[in-house]
Structure 1
Amino acid sequence: MSGLGEVDESAFSGLAERHRRELHVHCYRMLGSFEDAEDTVQETFLRAWRRRETFEGRSTFRAWLYRIATHACLDLLAKRRPEPATGGEVRWLQPYPDRLLDELAAGGADEPEAAAVARETIELAYLVAVQHLAPRQRAVLILRDVLGWPAKDVAELLGDSVNSVNSALQRARAGMREHLPAERQDWTGGEEDAGTRELVRRYTDASVAIDIGGLTALLREDVRCSMPPTPGLYVGRDTVVKDWVENGFEDMTNLRAVPTSVNRQPAVAFYHRREGGSAYLPLTIDVLRISGGAITEIITFHDDQFPRLGLPTSLPMDGTE
């Protein structure tokens, strides 16, 4: 493809739409927010259409779109979040539905899209660590380490030198090591073996039964819990359990749970039936990180995420869906 000057809007849209999902994942990594990624992909397509005559065929159409998307992300970060996350929590973090990741993964392991949804770079702890990097550092890290772009191509995209890109990559990798869990290579993550499934089952059962003791036994001593966008990061088993008790978890009744997965991690969606209610309604979604046979992190999302994750809007009292 040597140029786009003569392509009409319908044909251009067809070319661009083929890359929507992987561009969305790219923007999601950059921004940490599903909704911001949606907006940025739309902005990317709008910019690409307006600048279509600048595509000269020196790179692939896909790479050209990635360039535009990356700059759109950097522009948004400069406008909305001039400073990266701090303190280990990301209040704007949102989950990414596995069913949408599956659309890309279906292309096969040798397809470029497969790299875009590699499990180790889509899990929430990775997203949280990325959000602690300065915007240009995270762009360099994602383009180089996730997508495999050569340093000279990243330098051209950012209008910088190869030396500057390599320096930014070193700083980004150091930042990731600082914010990623130490045992990251041992994660079970989305590859749920029998032990992981059993642990999730026990967590689900103990939660529905409001069994504080049973839940406590499943947590690693240094477990971390957060509930974006609600502020607060709780670290340590005793601190986490104390927060649960102080917030009235033991008084909760009439819960049901639906197992699911997001960001290639096991998750549990909880539903609550109020006294006198005729159905169980969405409550929260707990996304679990499991390592060494224990729960090492729980990130809880609010009920507004249920529709996006393809979860039922309610559960009837008879137990059927």
Structure 2
Amino acid sequence: MVDLEPYRRELLLHCYRMLGSLTDAEDALQETMVAAWRGLEGFEGRSSLRTWLYRIATNQCLNARRRRPPEPVPPFTPPEPTRRGEVTWLQPYPDALLDVADSEPGPEARYHAREAVELAFVVALQHLPPRQTATLVLRDVLGFSATEVAAMLDTGETAVKGMLQRARATLGSPREPRRSSPAEEEVTRRFAESFTAGDVDGVVALLTDDAWLAMPPAPHEYVGPAAIAEFLRVSTAWRGERPLVLTPTRANTQPAFACRIDGNPAGLLVLTVTGDRVSAITRFLDGPLTLPQQLRLVSVRSPK
């Protein structure tokens, strides 16, 4: 009896990288497992079971239609955004699901597993053509050979090489992944204190000069401390005296907070910390109780 369950978590992460949405990734994983069970009798063992499953999962993702959620109506009139983001389907990925994600990457891998789930990397993948995304993830993250990737995508090795070159040119060179540090913990603590107190100046003092704020599924994005401050002042005035509670957690290997206003779920904040400053704030407007099931059922409080 072939057991497919050991591959479930790493396939879920693969689908998430491809699609940028945990909801869509769960759907693609379900379709993958159904297709695999139906096709087991025809599996001839010409490749490993893992490679065969990744071929099914990759093609399920290539065939999936990205769900562009409706733009939410804010409870207040926000200032004019600096720009409008395109990847409004982006969702966070809880760190608790990363504990057994990805088997050892093959020798072709160029990206660290931690870097390859950070929000900036996942967003960058969404801007690539789908087959370039698949090629880069399979080759540079998971380390499959060009021959294996060509078979997965039903194309030639020359085509795989070309797609990989174009994807690498767009994304640039890999870098060392961010890791938790005393500096990150300190800036995260100070951010939480200022944010919950409605101290906009305190939050802005922690930002880099090129910091930005995004709010999926809303397309509004604010770039630079001044634009972020203008938005925070409006949203803080709307909250008024209602208490805001931030519960520490982690998502996409980054520090995060589950938010509650006056006891009600109010989204998830994910911070990108660069050195001793915050370079990005991603405010997922769906509360923890309405995010995908995998996130809802996992307790991911930071250790004290």
TM-score, normalization by structure 1: 0.79
Deviations 1:86-106 (A, max 9, x none): 97541001111111112437x
- Residue in structure 1 matched with residue 91 of structure 2 by the alignment: 94
- Residue in structure 1 matched with residue 228 of structure 2 by the alignment: 240
Q: Which has more helix, going by share of residues?
A: 1
Q: Write the mapping of 1:198-277 to structure 2, written as runs, cut at 5 A.
A: 198-249=186-237, 251-253=239-241, 254-273=243-262
Query: Aligned to 2:183, what secondary structure does the other structure show?
Result: helix
Which among 142, 154, 161 is matched to residue 156 of structure 2? Answer: 161
C-alpha displacement of 1:246: 3.0
CA distance in 2, matches of 1:45, 1:311: 21
Range that drifts further, 44-53 or 248-257: 248-257
Deviations 1:270-308 (A, max 9, x none): 2111xxxxxx22212110001131110111112123864
Give the number of the structure with larger relative contact order, counting CA–CA contacts within 8 Å between residues 6 or more apart. 2
- Residue in structure 1 matched with residue 184 of structure 2 by the alignment: 196
Give the conservation status (yes or no) of the 8 Å contact 1:212–1:250.
no
Give the conservation status (yes or no) of the 8 Å contact 1:220–1:294.
yes
Give the conservation status (yes or no) of the 8 Å contact 1:88–1:128.
no
- Residue in structure 2 matched with residue 136 of structure 1 by the alignment: 131
Give the conservation status (yes or no) of the 8 Å contact 2:19–2:61.
yes
CA distance in 2, matches of 1:176, 1:157: 22
Higher-Rg structure is 1
CA distance in 2, matches of 1:204, 1:309: 21
C-alpha displacement of 1:175: 1.7
Runs ≥4 residues deviating over 4 A: 86-89, 248-251, 310-313
- Residue in structure 1 matched with residue 122 of structure 2 by the alignment: 127
- Residue in structure 2 matched with residue 118 of structure 1 by the alignment: 113
CA distance in 2, matches of 1:221, 1:299: 16
Name stretches of at least 5 consecutive residues in structure 1 with no aligned partner: 1-10, 274-279, 314-321
- Residue in structure 1 matched with residue 282 of structure 2 by the alignment: 299
Compared CA separation, residues 111 and 80, structure 1 to 2 (3 A)? closer
Query: Aligned to 1:90, what secondary structure does the other structure show?
Result: coil
Range that drifts further, 127-136 or 225-234: 225-234
CA distance in 2, matches of 1:187, 1:18: 26
CA distance in 2, matches of 1:199, 1:298: 13
- Residue in structure 2 matched with residue 281 of structure 1 by the alignment: 264
C-alpha displacement of 1:312: 9.6
The CA RMSD over aligned residues, in Å, is 2.6
- Residue in structure 1 matched with residue 295 of structure 2 by the alignment: 309
Query: Aligned to 1:305, what secondary structure does the other structure show?
Result: coil
Name stretches of at least 5 consecutive residues in structure 2 with no aligned partner: 69-82, 300-304
Number of equivalenced pairs: 278
- Residue 185 of structure 1 aligns to which amino acid in structure 2? R
TM-score, normalization by structure 2: 0.83
- Residue in structure 2 matched with residue 65 of structure 1 by the alignment: 53
